[in-house]
Every structure is written in structure tokens, then in C-alpha cells.
């Protein structure tokens, strides 16, 4: 299945591909969470939800493997390096009590994936303590067990957790495709730069494409 992608077409093999949805959590997308405590306008991120939902629905219908990630720390903060918690001057730090429960803590209301993209029973959900989806998680083993060789990425934020995860995946030998309209940053120029740099130099990190290109290919299957 050929996807009209940049810098050149991506040969998608859905049986050996997974859709990886990075951190579409209330903590990043809704007011009162981690993203806002860092000083960001979270409304920018809400704009991609319909495109993400359409892609997720089509991928499920095609029978593809779905992986959801959450940036999440244990309640005792044993997996949160002090350097991460103490960095900068946020209004609330990781672990502090906020309007959606403790900031970036597993199990708290703010740490849940937004309703529009909620995982279905049986889909993989990875809690990750870092920005990358592979660091200190079982993701590599789970993908290998499922025979996955290609990853389609969407989620937030483009230049932080999405880019870090895509680079980790690229170094592990996966062909990665970033869905351009299904990812967003609090800084539009960072998104643009991240998209451009990942596909530069002959797809040095991976490919990028609008989700419509994947939806069209799946529809013509």
C-alpha cells in the first residue's frame, strides 16, 4: 500500500504496522494540567482531536494494532528524576495537586487519555516516565512480539514527546511515518521545524504525510 508521503512514498504494510498515539492526555490538552502549568496555551492542541479520531477509527476498522502512550509518573515519584521535577518555574510541579488531580501522576483524572481517543479494551497503553515511548517501558518487546516493523505516529507535542519517540523508534529499526495534521505543538514554528527536520536528508528520522493520504490508501485497500 503506497502512501503519498514526503520525502518520497511510504510503503505501508498494515499487518506489520502500528498506530502510536503519543500522550493525548488531559494533562496536555486541557486547562489545569501539566502543559498549562508550564505556561502554554493548550487550546492549540485541541484542534487536532477530530483528525486524530478519524485516523484512529479508520485504523481500527482496518484491524491495525493501536498503541496509546501517557506521560505518567508513579505516585511516589520514584520514576521522576529530581532534575525533571525541579526544572524551571511552573505554577505546579509534577506530583503537586491541581484541578485535575496530581500533575502527571498515573491514575489521576488529568493523566487520562481524552475521551475522544480513549483506548479500547485490548489496545496497548504504555505509561512512560520520559519523553520517549521506549525509555523504561515494555514497548519494544510488545512491538517485537506482534511482528511490527512500521510505526505511524500522531499526538503531542510534535517536537518533544513525538519527536523523541520517533527518533527512539528509528534507532531501533522501525520505519516511521508522522501524520502531519494529527500532531501539534504549543509553538507552531516548532511543529513546522520538527516535521521538516525529521523528513530531511532522505527521511533521516522518517516520513511525513497528511492523514488523508493514509485514509485514502486504507479506503482503496
Binding site for ligand TIU (CB under 6 A): 23, 28, 38, 71, 131, 156-157, 160-161, 186
User: Which value, to the nearest 10 degrees, does the dihedral of the CA atoms of residues 66, 166, 14, 118 take?
Assistant: 20
210 neighbors 179 (Cβ within 8 angstroms): yes
CB closer to ligand TIU, 183 vs 208: 183
CB closer to ligand TIU, 157 vs 211: 157
Say whether 23 is catalytic.
yes
198 neighbors 166 (Cβ within 8 angstroms): yes
CB of 68 to ligand TIU, least distance (A): 12
- Distance between the two ends of the chain, CA-based, in angstroms? 8
If DSSP codes are grouped into helix, strand and coil, which group holds residue 154? strand
CB of 8 to ligand TIU, least distance (A): 28
CB of 110 to ligand TIU, least distance (A): 13
Q: What angle do CA 112, 115, 118 make, to 5 degrees?
A: 75
**What's the rounded Cα separation, in Å, for the pair 215 and 221?**
10
CB of 23 to ligand TIU, least distance (A): 4
Say whether 161 is catalytic.
yes
Catalytic residue among 27, 80, 127, 128: 128
CB closer to ligand TIU, 128 vs 199: 128
Helical H runs in the chain?
Answer: 26-29, 34-37, 43-46, 49-61, 82-86, 139-145, 163-171, 188-203, 211-219
Residue nearest to ligand TIU according to CB distances in the complex? 161
Q: Which residues contact 76 (CB under 8 A, 6 or more apart)?
A: none
CB of 9 to ligand TIU, least distance (A): 28
Say whether 128 is catalytic.
yes
CB closer to ligand TIU, 66 vs 162: 162
Catalytic residue among 52, 127, 131, 161: 161
CB closer to ligand TIU, 150 vs 163: 163
Active site residues: 23, 128, 161
Amino acid at each position: 500500500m503506497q502512501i503519498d508521503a514526503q520525502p518520497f512514498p511510504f510503503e505501508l504494510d498494515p499487518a506489520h504496522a502500528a498506530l502510536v498515539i503519543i500522550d493525548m492526555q488531559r494533562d496536555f490538552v486541557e486547562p489545569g494540567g501539566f502543559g498549562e502549568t508550564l505556561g502554554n496555551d493548550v487550546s492549540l492542541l485541541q484542534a487536532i482531536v477530530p483528525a486524530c479520531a478519524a485516523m484512529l477509527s479508520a485504523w481500527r476498522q482496518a484491524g491495525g494494532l493501536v498503541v496509546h502512550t501517557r506521560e505518567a509518573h508513579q505516585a511516589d515519584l520514584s520514576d521522576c528524576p529530581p532534575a525533571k521535577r525541579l526544572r524551571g518555574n511552573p505554577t505546579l510541579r509534577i506530583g503537586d495537586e491541581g484541578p485535575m488531580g496530581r500533575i502527571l501522576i498515573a491514575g489521576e483524572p488529568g493523566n487520562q487519555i481524552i475521551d475522544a481517543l480513549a483506548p479500547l479494551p485490548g489496545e496497548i497503553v504504555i505509561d512512560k516516565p520520559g519523553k520517549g515511548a521506549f525509555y523504561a517501558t515494555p514497548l519494544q518487546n510488545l512491538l517485537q512480539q506482534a511482528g511490527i516493523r512500521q510505526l505511524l505516529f500522531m499526538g503531542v507535542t510534535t517536537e518533544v514527546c513525538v519527536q523523541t519517540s520517533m527518533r527512539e523508534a528509528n534507532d531501533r529499526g522501525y520505519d516511521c511515518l508522522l501524520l502531519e495534521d494529527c500532531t501539534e505543538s504549543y509553538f507552531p514554528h516548532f511543529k513546522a521545524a520538527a516535521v521538516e527536520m525529521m523528513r530531511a536528508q532522505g527521511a533521516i528520522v522518517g516520513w511525513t504525510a497528511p492523514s488523508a493520504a493514509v485514509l485514502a490508501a486504507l479506503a482503496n485497500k
